[in-house]
A and B are shown apart, each in its own frame.
Chain A
Amino acid sequence: MSDAIVNRRQSIPAVLNPFQQHALVLAGQQVMSDGQGALLEALRQQGTENFKRATWPGRKVEHWKYTSVQALKAYESAAWATTAILPENFVSKRLITLNATRLVFVDGVLNAAVSDAMPAGISLFSGADADAAQVIRSHLGKIAGSVDASRRNLFAALNSAWTDDGLLIHVTQNVILEKPIYLVYLSTGSNAVANQRTLMVMEQGANAQVIEHFLSASSDAADSGFVNTLTEIHIGQNAHLHHTRLNLEHESAAHVGAVHVNLMRDAVFKGFTVAEGSKLKRLDYQLNHCGQGASLSFEGVYLARHDQLVDYHTCIEHRVPHCTSQQVFRGIVGDKAKAVFNGRIHIFQDAQKTLAEMNNRNLLTSNSAEINTKPELEIYADDVKCAHGATISQLDETALYYLQSRGISPSQARMMLSFGFVNELLSALPVEDVKLWLESWLKRRFSEDRSLVSDIKPRGNAGADL
């Protein structure tokens, strides 16, 4: 019966809004070689179909309840970004100094001049050899393609519709990448649109570290571009991946991005993400336990000030037994900014002996800031351990007193504690240089602008020691 309903729905031609219509026009403008076309055509078509059919976000759509996509109206006649010239000293000033394989994409296009040579296994879709093409064919669009996920992720569908090229990282069996892979995605703005697609396939026993770093060309000038990104990751049996994603674009940018990961038997995913708000920033993590014994841990930090928005939607699917997931997110929201954390854990009926934990803590630093935190648990198995917690709080008064009793001023004490609230999670980062860079980035954020420092007086008295 439900099939009939679905079919009937699909048969009604949806009325496309101007953004959707224009998005399809943009897809039509893309030019590809015959080889690329053959490789990507099926994906593009499927993406186009799904995008046309998807329900447009609005307050009545559960997964977009708190996040408006009004900002996309600005792109109803936008063009594809044309690759601009890199700002001077961009590499030395803005990037993390790191012993890594660095690849820099500017508005979705690889900039070879500031990128390292691609080691074996890494190639653009457009430069794929026969082996790479085979890997792309068997994985691209499949990881993000589950029915349940695609229903919620219309921008993933749009990303497929727009995929004319992309990056493949293929780590073959038992290969341990000595150097991290540092992917830089730069947007230059000026109201243009860019698309970014990345596919990572790790074979059995492989081991790698990847850092995805999104930023705007200029740290102070406006970046009014819209970037849609999708990273698909397959972690094979017993393979290990540490994945860090930094979304630190200028606040005038619009970014919708997703990371979809499939974990096979005994695979390990360690994720870390930091995002700063912008006029539209929506990040989806879809993490699927597909093989027994897989485990994942995932830390996230978000900061929003001014009238920024940051929205994290995470969804962890425990499809099979004996998997674990641990998730910790912390956010600080100030001024009139708004943040959303929606953490979904879906434990399938077969997924006995699951261990799943989720924790989200928030610090509000102004009375007009807004945070929407929502744990969403769907548990169909009966022998699982599942814990979740979400809090919105203020700074600890005892800690404030302790710092002041050592001569530290209340305003500096508040800054130290606000910084410490998110800095605490950084200890999970394995690459020391990334950790140090982020730590100093955070420190700068907190010292240059007090909007992320909690100046709200804690209520009431501290617990008294007699």
Chain B
Amino acid sequence: MLFNSYTFIFCFLPVALIGYFTLNHFNKITLGKWWLALASLYFYSYWSVKNLPLFLISLTVNYFIGHYLHMGIRKKQTLFRLGLVFNIGILCFFKYSGLVGLAQFALPLGLSFYTLQQVGFLIDSYEGLAEEKSFIDYAVFVSFFPQLISGPIVHYQHLMPQILKNDNKHFRVDQFSVGLFVFSIGLVKKVLISEAFSSWAKPGFDEAMTLDLLAAWKTSLSYTFQLYFDFSGYTDMAIGLGHMFNVKLQQNFNSPFRSKSVIEFWTRWHMTLSQFISTYIFTPIVRAMPKINFRNTMIATFIAMFIAGVWHGAGWTFVVYGALHGLALVVNHLRKKKKKKFPGWVSWLLTFNFVNVTFVIFRAKDMSDAIKVLRGMIGLDGVVVPKIGISSVGFLKDYGFEVGSYLYPNDYLMIAMFVAVFWSIHKAKNSIELEKEFKPSVKLACACGAAFVLCIFGMNRITEFIYFNF
């Protein structure tokens, strides 16, 4: 089920909320948890019930492994390793079986996210940082529907104390108000902004044979913004829904396009994945190194980033994406070590364009598709200037430029949106800031109501969230 669907907003969500808080109100706490878990399973299997058995197997197996890790059994390490092999094995089987000549199976929805979350739980359990005795509590932790399919990737220690806290078991108007506000922001990002950029990015990637300079930049920038507004919109909606259930989920985006280095970018983009990689991949690699020095740390950085890239899928595009980001991090760290600095705006420009170029590779179906867009971006497939007025651009023909069609109203809308987005990158408050500074007022409620209604009108063309594919 999609957050941006009529079924979710008008049927599923009210029923889930009313059921959960009514049961809690009558002190049926365990029943309330079962309600939440079952509602989440319904939410998950609404798309395709075929995905449900694997999810339930994964949940049950991980619960028992986590449970036994705490019982002080002798072969704790073996059990822990078995748990890791089980989770990573499932992930690899569905993501990479095609690479080794086996049949490529469709990736079950949310597999990457709920697997990472449970791997985190196993590691924390092994290290004594998390413990879960109750199956239903564990089921709520893994299946909690706001974060089930595309994150944010949450830690057990972060989520469960909030759900178990007595104060949070009852409907709270203040939390619901914040939730409504943040959910509306996410809905606007997805339905009104991301979808618009999607319609400009798709033809360039999927239909055009070649792209001239402006068309290629339009395509790449549109995708960069589509991805950001799609994923951060999803996260905002998830966080808003969390608030409605009195749970504060972790933030995933903190104005990533303000970053002035790739290091900074990864502290602002998909933050919960970055934290996961740092805690559960980078740190163990560094620990496993014979010596902790700058060189080895950089090797670990590269490997961790490479794994993060490949986590997205089996294609070469993800390999290159991960490798490029790994390299960029190493270069950034080297420059930092040597205390070399560009002026602020140059750093921003370099970082933004690096991210934009790597997102072209990330989006492309294959490397030749990526090269098509990248060639266009450096003008290798020609420069076509749109007519603004024939007399004003006609002279460009003498310099080898083609003069194309007039700008259409849709083109003006696109230019306006690019300008607005670039402005908002630098000047506007992001969701984290807006959430923190939330002060309920009638004016704000009306603005949210109006935005919400526009989204309702925009939801007839429902498209999946990009990260549902990973």
A binds B: no
